[in-house]
Amino acid sequence: MKVSEIEMISPQTVEECLYHLGEKDKTSRFIAGGTDAVVRMKDGAWLPDTWINIKQLDSLRYIKEEENGIHIGPLTTHTDIVHSGLLQKKADVLTAASKEVGAVQLQNMGTIGGNIATASPAGDTIPTLFVLDAQIELTSLMEKRIVPINEFFVGPGRTVQAQEEMITNIIIRPQTENEIGIFEKLGPRKAQSISIVNVAISLKMGEKSRECLGGKIAFGSVAPTIVRSEKCERMLTINPLHDEAIQDIAGAAWKEVMPISDVRASAKYRRSMASALLERGLYRLMKRWDER
Amino acid sequence: MKDIHFKVNGKNVSVNCAPTKTLLDVLRDEFDLTGSKECCGKGECGSCTVLLDGVSVCSCLVLIGQIHDVSVITVEGIGLTSNMDVVQQAFVDEGATQCGYCTPGLIVSSRSFLDGINHVPTDDEVKTALGGNLCRCTGYTKIMKAVQTAARKQLTMEETTN
Ligand SMILES: Cc1cc2nc3c(=O)[nH]c(=O)nc-3n(C[C@H](O)[C@H](O)[C@H](O)COP(=O)(O)OP(=O)(O)OC[C@H]3O[C@@H](n4cnc5c(N)ncnc54)[C@H](O)[C@@H]3O)c2cc1C
Ligand code: FES
Ligand code: FES
């Protein structure tokens, strides 16, 4: 298949998308913002018979609060997320992550659905979706099912999404009044860089000084899929989060991650950086909490 | 092959080509709008930046089949030698261009950035706004100055017209 021979259709409804996706005699793949899809088409890695263009599918571009959580349409761009008042207030960890995706142009183009479906271990919104207990809605012509985020990813670039399924909704838990979050990322360059290590943290704080009632910590890029750092999470509530406690928690992080060495960084470096990013994130969170 | 209708710099246009051709290639090959440059072809350098319905994107990653009915503004639509935009004039005045390969993309990104703010941006704000545009010649100092000069000029112009 040559690039110039690939066809493109632009369905106007989800049903139409699913119908085309189900066609057996042709290979097809969605293209949303195209920031992963076009790069891989140019590399020759993704050459479907047909691109199903969903960029214009505005019915799947929304951010709204419902009874069971905040619903985010897969076609929502990173820029939409950064500018959403609702998410700034009730999912600050996600807005912080979308702000770190690529640079302005990439945030304008790239969608949250694309970020999830590409399933890169370095995908920046993904760890935040773990700390916000996201549920991914997958729809096919036959059924609709909801998959919890911790069951969604199988390995680098691999998810439980079947060929005939489309991501049609992302549901996240709104943060509570006393909950604050942060996203920290290490990349080779400030803008436009793929994470070497990233971490999403969300903490519920108590009445007493720096008293943490519980929290979630998820690392990206340090294992084939996202790692929830349960040991560090348990340590959050032992002592108030003053400097010494923060250093102890961060020190435990390196045992929780299982990074590989690759062209971007060695495993050893990633381990140290996982600890360093967690430490920095906790310092910054506590500073923000003190100053609120 | 497909017929695709859209707008370029305010004019209705159409092309007949493979829907997987990039917007950048169409602008350069079919419309002779060679301001937008291809450098990396992968979204990393910003030299191909254009506006789609007012929003800045890398035209090297936009497939032409995806922009039916969309309005595209290229650097040529922002201003030409005869009617330069304040941003372009500021780049000239501050000497913010050397080889010039990055300049069209920077002009489009800067224009889009200044459209969204109402003050003279700090260095950090400019850095974040232009983080997706690489320049291998200038070292960025003059570029940042040019954007701030343009912002100042724009504000005084707005004051005098109000
Ligand atoms: C220069 C550059 C820098 C980048 N920097 C970052 C970064 O810092 N952090 C980061 O996380 N990512 C980064 N990326 C990757 C990319 O921009 C993001 O992953 C983005 O969110 C992808 O969204 P998209 O809409 O462009 O996806 P597309 O490229 O359109 O699609 C990606 C994949 O998702 C599938 N897909 C899209 N929508 C759906 C859906 N609704 N249902 C099922 N499948 C779907 C497509 O079929 C395709 O397989 C970068 C990319 C580039 C080119
Ligand atoms: S050529 Fe498009 S970003 Fe470099
Ligand atoms: S002036 Fe040469 S790359 Fe910017």
Domains of chain B as residue ranges with CATH: 2-77 (3.10.20.30), 86-161 (1.10.150.120)
Which of A213-222, A252-261, B93-102 is predicted least confidently? A252-261
Long-range contact set of residues A284-289: C-beta below 8 Å, sequence gap at least 24: A284/A182, A284/A184, A285/A180, A285/A181, A285/A182, A285/A201, A285/A203, A285/A241, A286/A210, A286/A241, A286/A242, A286/A246, A288/A180, A288/A182, A289/A180, A289/A205, A289/A210
pLDDT at A8: 97
Is the ipTM reported for this complex over the cut 0.90? yes
- Per the prediction, chain B carries an average pLDDT of 96
Residues of B in contact with A8 (CB under 8 A): 2, 19-20, 63, 65-66
Is residue B160 very low, low, confident or very high in pLDDT (cuts 50, 70, 90)? confident
The pLDDT of residue B24 is above 90: yes
The token pair at A223 is: 């294992």
Helices (H) and strands (E) in chain B, counts: 6, 5
pLDDT at A148: 98
pLDDT at B30: 96
Mutate to test the pocket of ligand 1, among A21, A28, A36, A58 (most ligand atoms within 8 A of CB): A36
- The percentage of chain B sitting over the pLDDT mark of 90, rounded to a whole number, equals 95
The token pair at A71 is: 């619903």
The pLDDT of residue A140 is above 90: yes
Is residue B81 very low, low, confident or very high in pLDDT (cuts 50, 70, 90)? very high
Whether A148 and A154 have beta carbons less than 8 Å apart is answered as: no
Among chain A residues, CA nearest to B59: A105
Phi, psi of A275 (to 5 degrees): -65, -45
pLDDT at B161: 77
A240-269 mean pLDDT:
89
Which of A16-25, B124-133, B146-155 is predicted least confidently? A16-25
The token pair at A18 is: 């699913």
- Per the prediction, chain A carries an average pLDDT of 95
Atom of ligand 1 nearest to the CA of A113: 38
pLDDT at B152: 97
Q: Is B58 in the pocket of ligand 2 (CB under 6 A)?
A: yes
pLDDT at A154: 94
pLDDT at A257: 86
In this complex, do A4 and B127 lie within 8 Å of one another by their Cβ atoms?
Answer: no
pTM: 0.96
Q: Closest Cα of chain B to A115: distance in Å?
A: 15
- Hey, which residues 47-86 in chain B have their CB within 8 Å of chain A? 49, 55-58, 60-63, 65-66, 68
The pLDDT of residue A191 is above 80: no
A106-129 mean pLDDT:
96
Which residue ranges form the domains of chain A, and what is each CATH number? Answer: 3-53 (3.30.43), 58-172 (3.30.465.10), 179-290 (3.30.390.50)
Is residue A263 very low, low, confident or very high in pLDDT (cuts 50, 70, 90)? confident
Is residue A262 very low, low, confident or very high in pLDDT (cuts 50, 70, 90)? confident
pLDDT at B138: 94
Of residues A8, A56, A104, nearest to B56 (C-beta) = A104
pLDDT digit string, tens, across residues A154-180 = 999 999 999 999 999 999 999 999 999
Is residue A188 very low, low, confident or very high in pLDDT (cuts 50, 70, 90)? confident
B148-157 mean pLDDT:
95
Give chain A's contact residues with B (Cβ, < 8 Å).
3-8, 10, 31, 34-35, 38-39, 41-42, 51, 53, 55-56, 79, 102-106, 108-109, 190-192
